[in-house]
Amino acid sequence: MTSEKVHVEVCKGVNGLDKVVLREIRGSSAEVYLYGGHVTSWKNDHGEELLFISSKAIFKPPKAIRGGIPICFPQFSNHGSLEPHGFVRNRVWSIDSEPAPFPLNSSSKTFIDLILKPSEEDLKTWPHSFEFRLRVTLGPGGDLMLISRIRNTNTDGKAFSFTFAYHTYFSVSDISEVRVEGLETLDYLDNLQNKERFTEQGDAITFESEVDKIYLSTPTKIAILDHEKKRTFVLRKDGLPDAVVWNPWDKKAKAMADFGDEEYKHMLCVEAAAVEKAITLKPGEEWRGRQELSAVPSSYCSGQLDPRRVLQST
Ligand code: TA6
What's the pLDDT tens digit per position in 211-247?
999 999 999 999 999 999 999 999 999 999 999 999 9
The CB of 246 under 6 Å from ligand 1? The reply is yes
Look at residues 231, 209, 211 and name the one whose alpha carbon lies nearest to residue 295: 231
What is the rounded CA–CA span in Å between residue 231 and residue 113? 29
Q: What is the mean pLDDT of the chain?
A: 93
- pLDDT computed for residue 99 by the predictor: 83
Contact 207, 178 (CB under 8 A): yes
Residue 146's pLDDT is 98
Residue 177 known to be catalytic: no
* Ligand 1 probe mutation, 56, 65, 85, 270, most atoms within 8 A of CB: 85
Active site residue: 167, 181, 263, 276, which one? 167
pLDDT for the residue 106 = 58
pLDDT at 302: 47
Q: Give the pLDDT score at 34.
A: 98
Task: Specify the pLDDT at position 305.
Answer: 45
For the cut 50, the answer to whether the pLDDT of residue 304 exceeds it is no
Give 299 Cα–ligand 1 centroid separation in angstroms.
Answer: 31
pLDDT at 100: 79
Does the C-beta of 191 come closer than 6 Å to ligand 1? yes
Per cent of the chain over pLDDT 70 is 91
Q: Atom 8 in ligand 1: which residue has the minimum CA distance?
A: 77
Q: Let me know if 271 is a catalytic residue.
A: yes
DSSP 8-state code for residue 54: -
* Mean pLDDT value of segment 263-288: 98
- The whole-number pLDDT of residue 108 equals 73
Residue whose Cα lies nearest atom 10 of ligand 1: it is 77
Give the angle 304-51-72 at the CA atoms, nearest 5°. Answer: 115
Ligand 1: nearest atom to the Cα of 84:
14
